[in-house]
Structure 1
Amino acid sequence: MTRRNDTPLFRLHDAGVRFGDVQALRDVTLDIHAGERVALVGANGSGKSTLLRLLHGLLPAAQGSLTSLAPARTQAMLFQRPHMIRASALSNVALGLWLRGMRWRDAKAHALDALARVGLDQVARRNARTLSGGQQQRLALARAWALSPAVLLLDEPTASLDPHAKRDVEALIGDVADGRTLVFASHNLGQVKRLATRVIYLEYGRVLADLPVRDFFEGALPKEAMLFVKGELA
């Protein structure tokens, strides 16, 4: 398991995000350090996706502050349903490398290596939009890994997959995240136990618990978090 170091990559202080009249995040104060594997858990609408987008710079903090020592070029974010351009799987990976300044020939060679890493080299020439959900998530991981990010932000990356595809993608997440900082949202508590070193529980945009993974599942929790872990949260 990767150990965190003492470098704070993200520092939030009383951070808040609003969508019109809805306060999606409120008074969030926390640090995320290099090498941590942080799971964001909570019911739908608790603020997990909003927090990920805030960390990635896709949303501004309406209140408080976010200090990021991880430049955008060192981050990659994967969504629950990744967007695929209307092109081959190979081109979906190579394009990001080409946009970073790599020659197209070299980008394709590197992209093929990335596809092989996730077991998709045999479908490299297929249109990415014709791939299955599990294959598209693996392709999204290949696309992220090819860019050598220091930080991976994942929003429910296995939520819409069948059990077999979930196991495959989860194993790849553990492999691709090795040596990197991982922040991911998940409803799958077994997955949280397997992948995370730290768990943050959110409810109505507030952080109610922030604990090492073992303490979260075996220690004392606020009532709301305990009900969530037991599957009893309304």
Structure 2
Amino acid sequence: MAEKASGGVQSVERAFELLELLAQAGGQLTLSELSSLTTLPLPTIHRLLRTLVSLGQVRQLPNRRYSLGPSLIRLGEVANKQLGTLARPHLKDLVDALGESANMALLDLDMVVYVAQVASPHSMRMFTEVGRRAHTHDTGVGKAILAQLEPEQVRSIVTGAGMPTPTPKSIGNLADLEAELGRIRERGYSIDEEEQEIGVRCLAMAVPAAPTPMAISVSGPVSRVDAAFAERAVPLLREAARIISEELNLAS
């Protein structure tokens, strides 16, 4: 196999480029669509796809489209567990300092998936099961992640997943969501104002320079998660996000 000047194995890098393109497209593309998204020669794409199909990393569907394969599910589950293990001590620090539940979630196609949580010691607390998938437009972590993405990707995500409104305070259309994302970019963090559940407020912040879009959050009853709480929480969230980012990039 040829090696690039950087020391990377070229065929491996090219294979991962195709997997990334499939993931960014929502999981499925035709051969011609893949060809239009990369500078790789068509015979090279076809050869790499055949290899990935034989390994179970890619599937060829009856309609001739290519999709991400089942072998990636196991890899993803293990990676998510490792992310949760890395983040949990920092989430615990947030809980110890603030007294409210802390979470980490990452973008998984057009939804967010929670990969770690440390629960509040309060009897009345916010709880999210690790592994739960949720929409991006009505969650603190989801909006924090969307605010880091290009407008075209945001539209693709919310169009694919839909914009249900679980509470009267949920955002239900793209124009309102785009305006909210602008406010998030200005202040540097997102707020779930009872958009997932009445009576629960969440403050969330994206993890900068993460290898995949992700965010951390603290959540609790609106009676405790108020303006004074936010003043204490935002600097702590920012510092936790910075440390997690550094550890992720050191591990990569």
Q: TM-score range by the shorter chain?
A: under 0.3
Which structure has more relative contact order (CA 8 Å, sep 6+)? It is: 1
Give the number of the structure whose residues are more often strand, by fraction: 1
Give the number of the structure whose residues are more often helix, by fraction: 2
TM-score (norm 1): 0.26
Say which one has the larger Rg. Answer: 2
TM-score (norm 2): 0.25
